[in-house]
Amino acid sequence: METRVLIGLTVLIGALFSFGIAGCSENSGTAQVELGTGPAGVPGSRFTDPDVEIDLSADIIQWEVLDGEFIEVWAYNRQYPGPEIRVKEGQKIRINLTNNLPEATTIHWHGLEIPNDQDGVPGFTQPAVPPGGIWTYEFVAPKPGTSMYHTHSNTVRQLSKGMFGAFIIDPSEPQTEYAREYTLLLHEISGFYTVNGHSFPKTLENSLLELASGDKILVRMINAGQEHHPMHLHGHQFRVVQLDGNPMPAPLTVNTQDIAPGQTVDVEIDGSNPGTWVFHCHILPHVTNKGQYPGGMLLALDYTDHTSYFDEQAAAQSVSPNPLATTEATRSPSTDPVAQGQAVFTGSGTCAACHTIEGVSGAAGTVGPNLTHIGTVAASRKESISAEEYIRESIRSPSAFVVAGFNAVMPSLSAALTTEELDNLVEFLLSRK
């Protein structure tokens, strides 16, 4: 299931990127373009020839914040954070919002100087977009810098649930060259402190900051949450070159920089001290997962041309990208199929993350139905098939077996299970009368 999320992300970024590139030749280079006078929200009413067109949907999804730990997230394009929007100064941008949430929503373009009727504040600049509704935003990308987009409806709830993403405007003429650029979106959700949608140690999978000795890199930090995050880097000073997308006339040299809610901070880091250096929020409760240290907002700056203790440890571990594969190691040595099925069920990252079975330790997930009496319940779900077939099919093709009252659809996991594992799981579940 992890792979599916990643593939979705890559396809989307690819799509955005090609739009961005395609639009470059059209770039007028100036933010002062006369817009049409048609009604706001209607595609083509303000300009008919956007350089960049992006579709954003708003959905409720289950997100894997840590391996095997799923939380409910309200997300743009089923990603938490939403896709990074990256355009050039002066480009004409059209964004089509589709609201699949159970309540009204809008999008606000945080920090951008755009026409008032595109600002996305319901009741002030536009009507709220109802469930099932669509709305189109059109504006010219103003001055370059790091900013974000986020919901502006029922904001306390919707922003806390994850409805935000980075909005980066590049200068029409390239300026400083960086070896690499990173964007870090900071947020708090359901007891987790996240960077780009994950908490430590999962942050190291997607947000490891890599550089080589002598490189200069840019790190853009965006605080989409409701708490301050003083981000501290070991072994280096860094330069604060932009605040809220505005260049600093005299960059500050520091090693800890607070980022307030709503603020964006760009820092330059020089590759001057090889190693693997931690980079973390210095409010230490923010370096926990549901109160457990270490977790949360903990990252590392890792030199590619240097082998540290961290690199040796990572090489020594064969990290499996398939969370179900870890059940091999934790499986009970017993040959009893029910016991083996239970081991697969409670293996890290599997069924137990979403389902509860009373009396089975570690199975307390609430995303999907309680399966304590599934052997009996299954018989009453679909009369045309046996309980065994019902259980087998709900694992094999979950989307065909939607249970009323659950927002989430169970991910299709059968491809990650061996035939034997599937058989054992069925035995185990049938044994729960």
Residues making contact with ligand HEC (CB under 6 A): 62, 70, 350-351, 353-355, 367-369, 371, 374, 377, 381, 391, 394-395, 398, 401-403, 406, 408-411, 413, 425, 429
Is 352 among the residues that bind Cu ion (CB under 5 A)? no
Q: How far apart are CB 23 and Cu ion at their closest, in Å?
A: 36
Nearer residue to Cu ion within complex by CB, 13 or 283: 283
Query: Of these partners, ligand HEC, Cu ion, none, which one is at the site of residue 398 (CB under 5 to 8 Å by kind)?
Result: ligand HEC
Query: Of these partners, ligand HEC, Cu ion, none, which one is at the site of residue 296 (CB under 5 to 8 Å by kind)?
Result: none
Give, in degrees to the nearest 5, the angle at Cα 65 between 61 and 69: 90
223, 229 Cβ separation under 8 angstroms: yes
Residue of 169, 251, 271 lying closest to 211 (CA atoms): 271
Burial of 389 (0-12, 13-18, 19+ CB in 10 A): middle
Q: How far apart are CB 229 and Cu ion at their closest, in Å?
A: 3
Nearer residue to Cu ion within complex by CB, 159 or 281: 281
| Binding window for Cu ion (CB under 5 A); candidates: 132-140, 177-185, 252-260, 285-293 | 285-293
Is 355 among the residues that bind Cu ion (CB under 5 A)? no
- Type of residue at 317: Q
Site size for Cu ion (CB under 5 A): 4
308, 276 Cβ separation under 8 angstroms: yes
The phi-psi region of residue 413 (left if phi > 0; otherwise alpha if psi is between -120 and 50; otherwise beta) is alpha
Nearer residue to Cu ion within complex by CB, 99 or 196: 196
Q: How far apart are CB 423 and ligand HEC at their closest, in Å?
A: 12
Is 281 among the residues that bind Cu ion (CB under 5 A)? yes
Closest-CB residue for ligand HEC? Answer: 368
For residue 311 the two structure tokens come to 């690199």
Nearer residue to ligand HEC within complex by CB, 233 or 413: 413
Query: Of these partners, ligand HEC, Cu ion, none, which one is at the site of residue 17 (CB under 5 to 8 Å by kind)?
Result: none
Distance CA 363, CA 344 (A): 11
Q: How far apart are CB 383 and ligand HEC at their closest, in Å?
A: 13
φ and ψ at 192, to 5 degrees? Answer: -115, 145
Nearer residue to ligand HEC within complex by CB, 9 or 283: 9
- Type of residue at 330: T
| Binding window for Cu ion (CB under 5 A); candidates: 64-72, 274-282, 386-394, 424-432 | 274-282
Stretch 99-118: interaction string toward Cu ion, x if CB under 5 A:
--------------------
- Token pair 């069920």 is found at 345
Strand order in the sheet with 145-151: 85-88, 164-170, 145-151, 107-110
Q: Enumerate residues 200-239 that contact Cu ion by CB under 5 A.
A: 229
DSSP 163-226: -EEEEEEE-SS--S--SEEEEEEEEEETTEEEETTB-TTTHHHH--EEE-TT-EEEEEEEE-SS
List of residues contacting Cu ion (CB under 5 A)? 229, 281, 283, 286
